[in-house]
Chains A and B, each alone.
Chain A
Amino acid sequence: MGDWEVVIGLETHAQLSTASKIFSGASTAFGAAPNTQASAIDIALPGVLPVLNRGAVERAIRFGLAVGATIAPRSVFARKNYFYPDLPKGYQISQFEIPVVQGGEILIVSPTRGEIVVRLTRAHLEEDAGKSLHEDFHGMTGIDLNRAGTPLLEIVSEPDLRSAAEAVAYAKTLHGLVRWIGICDGNMQEGSFRCDANVSVRRPGAPLGTRCEIKNLNSFRFLERAIEFEVRRQIELIEDGGTVRQETRLYDPDRHQTRAMRSKEDAQDYRYFPDPDLPPLVIDRAWMDRVAAELPELPAAMKARFETQYALPAYDATMLTQSREMAGYFEDAVSSFGGEAKIVANWMLGEVSAALNRAEVDIGAAPVGPAELAGLLKRVADGTVSTKIAKDVFDAMWTGEGDADAIIDKRGLRQISDRDEIEKLVDDVLAANAAIVAEFRAGKEKAFNSLVGKAMAASKGKANPGQVNALLRQKLGR
């Protein structure tokens, strides 16, 4: 396999978190019994008409402002015509020629290229279709129209991504952003956030290769695997003398492969035209200003602030601004800790994140809150416990044993910093380990660490490691 460049663009469907649908008053809540949340408009009875949900527009504006895009003062809803049983009107109302959000960009951290800008082409409002249920009905198909008319923002990126891992980094950043600005709950299992990936390969410097679109990837892992498979498939195809056909492909997570769904030749003609039932969507300056005023501090701005205000390295600042909850936790913990912010950052990106991953919960549901974490860090800072012991205390806090002080007292974990006590400990270790001492004196530096270990073990980890170290050096004369 020679030198290939991978080119990826994503189209992401973010379900907007409105209470009702984009063109009807029916609820958008997930999980209701089939067809109980489908109004006359959603099932497309004759004579019904769509009425645009202001909340959906507001969320689109919020997104546009957050990515520095142009908010179209006048955008147009169009009909995308095709027949499918879960598409009740026989057309989907979407935006085609003039989308509400135009341009914009998102800053991501690429695993290989560092911080990069991903340009956005556009983001447009549209309605979701219903669901076809092929199981449970022998020889028939069930139609559930609860999802029909759910508001979506389709966010289209430029082909600026160069690897599956970059695509995932972009998707995760976007996922974080839409939740950050409160326009989408980001629930991927329920389909609230799903991606289509446009993938092609080329020799570096060559024009863009033919792309394939992989539809409906609803987890970051599937996104990564699907792209990886597709890249391999295209490269092997070309290297074997074949050519890539432009087509739509589906990812099969059970087989870890993509397969062709339809080719460009049999692509449908959607016969887009402006929907005569909906006047152009007009967004004036005042509306934009109102939305802008309600916008929270954005992750990029907050990241920059964290770097200066808390003297954090870029990596830490980026990681801590992955979600508003994470950032809020950090700032709360720093403020009740009162010490160095970097210590809080280390703990959050280390112990706290690891515990969250193990428990598979979000930081909002963490059993150890920011004030509790700060309480523990204070005991490290004032020398009550070592960092190592503090980790055990943290685990105990996580399982609900109580706050840091209570656990330290109950378990007798207070650090030994008394010079006499430590000296006795060190003397005992030196006396009992004459062979190791001899090795050390013979020049084996590693033997010193072994002695430190023995002293710490004798104190059950409570001895102040700095003092143990210093005393040992002193007594060994080095």
Chain B
Amino acid sequence: MSSESTIAGLLRRLDAGEVSAVELTRAALDRIAQANGTLNAFVSVDETGALAQAQAADAARAKGEAGALAGIPIAHKDVLMTAGLKTTCGSRMLANFVAPYDAFVVEGLKRAGAVLVGKTNMDEFAMGSSSESSHFGPVRNPWDPERVPGGSSGGSAAAVAARLVAGATGTDTGGSIRQPAALTGICGLKPTYGLCSRYGLVAFASSLDTPGPFAQTAEDCALLLDAMAGHDPRDSTSINRPKEDYRRGLAAPPTDPARPLAGLRIGLPEQYFGDGIDGDVAAAVDGALEALRRLGATTVPLSLPAVRLSIPVYYVIAPAEASSNLSRFDGVRYGHRAAVYDDLRDMYRKSRAEGFGAEVKRRILVGTYVLSHGYYDAYYLKAQQVRRLIADDFRRALGACDVIAGPTSPTPAFRLGDKSDDPVQMYLNDIFTVAANLTGLPAMSIPCGFTRGGLPVGLQLHAGHFGEARLLEVAHRYQQATDWHRRVPPGLGLRDG
């Protein structure tokens, strides 16, 4: 029995009548009840709602009206609005906020029949790379609970890695899907900016925020993306283009089954293979590239000179937008309001001081500073100019290759608390991931091996705008030839395969 816990595998079992959606949902709820005490992956679990959706999915399937994901238990990152359920963004500010509407991607997955079992923990307002800054406590890595799962979508990544749910949503502003996917040994896709509407995604940095899927396999990511992508007139940055069928794209057999990636040119930027990369990570990535070559791909060296500036550029633009986006949390209409205050200014001051954690405050301060009169040109405007240079680098590079590969993260999962006192060290974790956000390009992390200490390593692939189908195909062919994605964290009472 292979791939039983993947979405594709579960759909086969549901269609064959081997299992019901209610059974799958109960099993997911049981596993969450067992594991969440350790992992802290979920902020809230909606048992009643999930079982009702599962029953509806079973009824629909019986009538032959099941959606593409009917009965598949999933989770949403708690930064996506889910009607009737708390949407906290991992913050005290919204600890009791019940969303009055569904985000676009939540609607899409609901329409496909996926069963929402709960909301996952995350860095507060998606600001972080370790999922330690949540008001609800840190998320732990299923591969080693003393280590972080990455962030900011650490709860979703941990939930999928620990097989608590078959798939989950995340949001990626500077690597918040790909880096936790890498650190927990699963697949995470950041789609092209504009492919999945941001409607209902509580904004961190509007020009960078991108919702996307987590799953065990590329095929499952394709299934989730099919339900999440699409034009949305409620988001002016959503792109109006014909809908693709990502799952079907993977079903076509390759012309040369022995060399399914023949003709594929993989670009290897020198900047992604230099110093500062953990030796085990580098070794795993090299092994993956070797495997891809065996499948027929060729690799071409290239250079992305401006990419070295992506961290400073990102840490100007993202906080600038965040400082403005988070202004609406003022205690006036919803969210946390201080119990005692003297006047209006005092109410703002106390409500925001109490409602936001340290990292959020740090970024609001940085963002406010770089937008200030006299600093705007030197920081924000300059950062936008460099952002264009980085985009130019990628455009040139993608003219000479089809995908760009490298490690997702320079290191494997680090220990809780290791970097939480050093924001710059924490920020450097995003060194390979932020460029995709600055350029809007799609990028994906897939499991490609382990360190000697048994921690997962991720391979990151970039493609041109709207190149999701290509990314998924490369990842899928790789996964057909390898089994890193089938490895299950030890100590969870689960078996591989």
| Cβ of A20 to closest chain B Cβ, rounded Å | 14
CB distance from B45 to the nearest CB of A (A): 21
> Contact partner of A51 among B206, B233, B320, CB < 8 A?
B233
Q: Which of A44, A47, A48, A279 counts the most chain B CB atoms within 10 A?
A: A47
Q: Which of B100, B101, B330, B376 contacts A90 (CB 8 A)?
A: B330
Closest chain A residue, CB of each to CB of B347? A85
B333's partner among A43, A83, A277, A279 (CB-CB below 8 A) is A43
Q: Which residues of A contact B100 (CB under 8 A)?
A: 40, 45
CB of B451 within 8 A of chain A? no
Contact with A along B61-104 (1 / 0, CB 8 A): 00000000000000000001100000101000010010111010
Q: Is the CB of B235 within 8 A of A46?
A: no
Any A CB within 8 A of the CB of B468:
no
Which residues of the partner chain B approach A51 to less than 8 Å between Cβ atoms? 233-236
Tell me the bound Cα distance from A50 to B87 in angstroms.
21
- Identify the stretch in B194-202, B279-287, B297-305 within 8 Å (CB) of chain A at 4 or more residues: B194-202
Whether A47 contacts B202 by the Cβ 8 Å rule is: yes
**Most B Cβ at <10 Å: residue of A46, A79, A271:** A46
A79–B321 Cα distance when bound, in Å, is 10
A273 and B324 form a contact (CB under 8 A):
yes
Q: Assess whether B16 is interfacial by the CB under 8 Å rule.
A: no
Given contacts A43-B333, A44-B333, is CB(A49)–CB(B324) below 8 Å? no
- Count how many pairs of residues, one from A and one from B, have CB atoms less than 8 Å apart in the complex: 96
Contact: A49 with B333, CB < 8 Å?
Answer: no
In the bound complex, residues from chain A placing their C-beta under 8 Å from that of B376 are 271-273
Chain B residues lying within 8 Å of A40, measured Cβ to Cβ, are 100-101
Q: Name B374's closest neighbour in chain A (CB-CB).
A: A269
**B333 pairs with A88, CB closer than 8 A:** yes
| Proximity bits, A273-306, B CB within 8 Å = 1, else 0 | 1001111000000000000000000000000000
Residues of B within 8 A of A (CB-CB), count: 44
CB neighbours (8 Å) of A88 from chain B are 328, 332-333
| Contact indicator B199/A49 (Cβ below 8 Å) | yes
Are B328 and A44 neighbours in the complex by a CB distance under 8 Å? yes
A47-65, CB < 8 A from B = 47-52
Judge whether A49 and B236 touch: CB under 8 Å: yes
Q: How far is the CA of A83 from the CA of B327 in the complex (A)?
A: 7
Q: Are A85 and B332 in contact (CB under 8 A)?
A: yes
Q: Cα distance A184–B320 when bound, in Å?
A: 35
**Contact stretch, chosen from B128-136, B157-165, B365-373, B391-399:** B365-373
Q: Check if B203 is an interface residue, CB within 8 A of chain A.
A: yes
Contact pattern, A 252-281, Cβ under 8 Å of B = 1, otherwise 0: 000000000000000001011100111100
Contact pick for B373, options A49, A50, A269, A278, CB 8 Å: A269
CB atoms of A279 and B236 under 8 A apart: yes
- Residues of chain B with a CB closer than 8 A to A50's CB: 236
Are B372's CB and A47's CB within 8 A? no
Contact yes or no, A47 B234, CB < 8 A: no
Among A40, A45, A88, the most chain B Cβ lie within 10 Å of the Cβ of A45
Which residues on B sit within 8 Å (CB–CB) of A277? Answer: 203, 206, 236-237
A81 to B200, CA, bound (A): 22
A residues in contact with B339, CB < 8 Å: none
Whether B202 lies near A46 (C-beta < 8 A) is yes
* Contact present for B201 and A271 (CB under 8 Å): no
**A222 interfacial contact with B, CB 8 Å:** no
The CA-CA distance from A279 to B207 in the complex, in Å, is 10
CB distance from A115 to the nearest CB of B (A): 41
Smallest CB-CB separation from A132: which chain B residue? B344
Q: Is B341 an interface residue (CB 8 A)?
A: no
By the criterion CB–CB under 8 Å, are A46 and B87 in contact?
Answer: yes
User: What is the bound-complex CA distance between A413 and B321, given in angstroms?
Assistant: 78
Chain B residues with CB under 8 Å of A90's CB are: 324, 326-328, 330
Q: Are A49 and B380 in contact (CB under 8 A)?
A: no
Q: Chain A: which residue is nearest B87 at the CB level? A: A46
The reply to whether B236 and A52 contact each other, CB–CB distance below 8 Å, is: yes
Asked whether A91 is an interface residue with its Cβ less than 8 Å from the other chain, the reply is yes
A208 to B59, alpha carbons, bound, how many Å?
78
Which residues of chain B are near A21, meaning CB under 8 Å? Answer: none
Nearest CB in chain B: distance from A347 CB, A: 54
Contacts of B81 in A (CB 8 A): 46-47
Min CB distance B465 to A, Å, is 15
Asked whether, in the complex, the Cβ of A46 is within 8 Å of the Cβ of B234, the reply is no
Q: How far is B369's CA from A269's CA once the two chains are assembled, in angstroms?
A: 11
Interface residues of B in 409-453 (CB under 8 A from A): none
- Asked whether any CB of chain B lies closer than 8 Å to the CB of A414, the reply is no
Query: How many Å from the CB of A40 to the closest CB on chain B?
Result: 7
Say yes or no for A143: interface residue by CB 8 A criterion.
yes
B233 → chain A closest CB, angstroms: 7
Shortest CB-to-CB span from B177 to chain A, Å, is 18
Q: Does A89 contact B (CB under 8 A)?
A: yes
* Interfacial chain B residues near A143, Cβ < 8 Å: 332-333
- Cα–Cα, bound, A57→B234 (Å): 18
Say whether, besides A269-B372, A277-B206, A47 and B200 are in contact (CB < 8 Å). Answer: yes
Tell me whether B344 and A48 are in contact (CB under 8 A).
no
Chain A residues with Cβ below 8 Å from B348 are: 83
In the complex, what's the smallest C-beta–C-beta distance from A469 to chain B, in angstroms?
Answer: 76
B residues within 8 Å of A by Cβ?
80-81, 87, 89, 94, 97, 99-101, 103, 198-203, 205-207, 233-237, 320-321, 323-324, 326-330, 332-334, 344, 348, 368, 371-373, 376, 380
Sample of 9 A–B contacts (CB below 8 Å) = A45-B334, A46-B203, A46-B328, A47-B203, A49-B199, A49-B235, A81-B323, A91-B324, A271-B323
10 closest Cβ contacts across the A-B interface?
Answer: A90-B327, A276-B207, A271-B371, A276-B206, A46-B202, A47-B200, A44-B328, A47-B81, A269-B373, A47-B202
15 A-B pairs besides A272-B376, A276-B321 with CB distance below 8 A are A47-B99, A47-B198, A47-B199, A47-B201, A47-B202, A49-B198, A49-B236, A81-B327, A90-B328, A269-B373, A272-B371, A273-B324, A277-B206, A277-B236, A279-B237
